Amino acid sequence: MRAIRYQPDRLELLDQTRLPHETVWLTCTTAEDVYRAIQAMQVRGAPAIGAAAAFGLALEARRLPAEEVRSRLPEVAAWMKTARPTAVNLMQAVDEVMSALDEAPRGAEADALYRRAVAIAERDIATNRRIGEVGAEWVARHGGRILTHCNTGSLATVEYGTALGVLRAMHAAGTLKHVYVDETRPYLQGARLTAYELKEEGIPFDILTDSTAGFAMKLGWIDAVVVGADRIAKNGDTANKIGTYSLAVLASYHGIPFYVAAPRTTLDLSMSSGDEIPIEERSADEVTHWFGRPVAPEGATARHLAFDVTPGHLITGIITEAGVALPPYEESLTRLFGGG
């Protein structure tokens, strides 16, 4: 499954606000088209956001007058980084695609950025499959009944997924027994998107309301928890979808292994701890309304923190393409990926 399709002159995004009941593709031809799609969560998921932004800048390089690309694109790149604040993949991908500008022959900037964006997308897919291999072997030792949160599959990562990639690899190896999918209010990445991906592949699952997870652990349903990430600090503190922190506390209380699966591009080793990670707060309307229809009484207010930060000491291991990092993360992550 692909949620992002790319050509030199356009980027097509599967509108994730319409899934699972409608398949609507958005066609983007400018950086602004992509910026708006990221902000509206029509494309979402840390790696997918990064890849889309990279293609958005390549499109802008094609749209701008050739003689103005080098002077104007850096400003567009800085603006693109503000589309959403938490997923470090956005910032990393923008910097990576912009580095192609320095190396591009004059007059061929757009083609150079497009090639770099394609390289980012294809590398991410290969990385995801490696994370799946590493994670499947490691997590299976705990058992095959896995709880996951949000959506970390093809829809979040160009293809295959990170945490959901581990579950795909376990399913392929015959070690996955069942997936428990947190619905993940209010956007319902779990109930709408993860369920959509798992159903497509015949992987057995049940959706749980977010508030069921703790009791499911008490009932002995869960062998391990595997989630994704949007930014991981040097000490292993991990920003991820709101509700992840609660899952980690519950898993710790119940003695259940809790894993994060993420690529190098989600690590922010410049941050010493999760205290520095910017947490996106989205419109209260996304809580008080169900995709536009009012749920709460008129005038009700809400706080909508879109992410939380799980302290490294609650994380059993961080599954990456280079191996599984174990505490202490300051040492293990640096050993796997270097200083920064």
Annotated binding-site ranges for substrate = 44-46, 84, 189, 240-241
Secondary structure class of 159 (helix, strand, coil)? coil
**How many secondary structure helices (H) and strands (E) does the chain include?**
12, 16
Sheet holding 10-14, edge to edge: 4-7, 10-14, 25-28
Query: Is residue 44 part of the contact set for ligand LNRAV4D5 (CB under 6 A)?
Result: yes
Task: Output 45 or 144, the one with its CB closest to ligand LNRAV4D5.
Answer: 45
Closest-CB residue for ligand LNRAV4D5? 228
Query: Is residue 156 part of the contact set for ligand LNRAV4D5 (CB under 6 A)?
Result: yes
Q: Please list every residue from 86 through 125 that binds ligand LNRAV4D5, using CB under 6 A.
A: none
CA distance 164 to 179: 10
Stretch that binds ligand LNRAV4D5, among 75-83, 112-120, 151-159, 250-258 (CB under 6 A): 151-159
Choosing from 157, 194, 238, 265, the residue that interacts with ligand LNRAV4D5 (CB under 6 A) is: 157
- Does residue 95 have an active-site annotation? no
Task: Output 228 or 317, the one with its CB closest to ligand LNRAV4D5.
Answer: 228
Query: Is residue 243 part of the contact set for ligand LNRAV4D5 (CB under 6 A)?
Result: no
Choosing from 19, 88, 98, 150, the residue that interacts with ligand LNRAV4D5 (CB under 6 A) is: 150
Segment (H or E) for 53: helix 46-63
Distances (CA, A) of 294 to 17, 40, 301: 17, 18, 12
Distances (CA, A) of 147 to 127, 154, 230, 295: 22, 18, 18, 28
CA distance 48 to 80: 14
Contact set with ligand LNRAV4D5 (CB under 6 A): 44-47, 150, 152, 156-157, 162, 189, 228, 230, 240-241, 306
